[in-house]
Amino acid sequence: TLSYDTTSTENKPYTFVLKVTDSSGRESATATWTFTTANTGPTVAWTAPANNSTVTGKVSLKATATPASSGTSTITKWCLTINGEEATNYSAATFVLNDAAELSSGYYTKSGGCWSSGYDSRKITLSYDTTSMENKPYTFVLKVTDSSGRESATATWTFTTNNPGPTITGTSSMG
């Protein structure tokens, strides 16, 4: 009996070839067995606030990732684009691990719009002060990768900022 855990392997065809040798040095013919792995990847979904919201001031965007239901994979990488550009404000993120511990982005390697670590990071919160952003729609796209290198489909979330502009007040004296 041969046991083989396919959850940590890339989805592709594999071939096992088996040949045995007895104590006299005689070899058997080879036996081959081919199979193709088709492990599902992780999933990611935005959870708050509602998609297509209009926001003002400070906003916390939240998403949850789940590894495939089988296997031993963990969520080790989160990638974000905003309006098609790789995210650069890495400190906006905090993460919640599978064991409910919370970690700041300082515990992650940051590059190319991604946060990576060996931790099993199941949730992300992105905190933004929209008063420093132009009033317009913003589209956030998340993708996660598990410890076996499998990527999720992307999750898209859009909001529009609508912060009031400055006001002018004053008095006039005509004289």
For the segment 40-54, the average pLDDT, to the nearest whole number, is: 92
Give me the pLDDT at residue 155, please.
96
pLDDT for 138 beyond 80: yes
Look up the pTM and report it: 0.78
Structure tokens of 116?
């990576």
* Nearest C-alpha neighbor of 93 from the set 122, 128, 119: 128
Give me the pLDDT at residue 7, please.
72
- DSSP class of 105: G
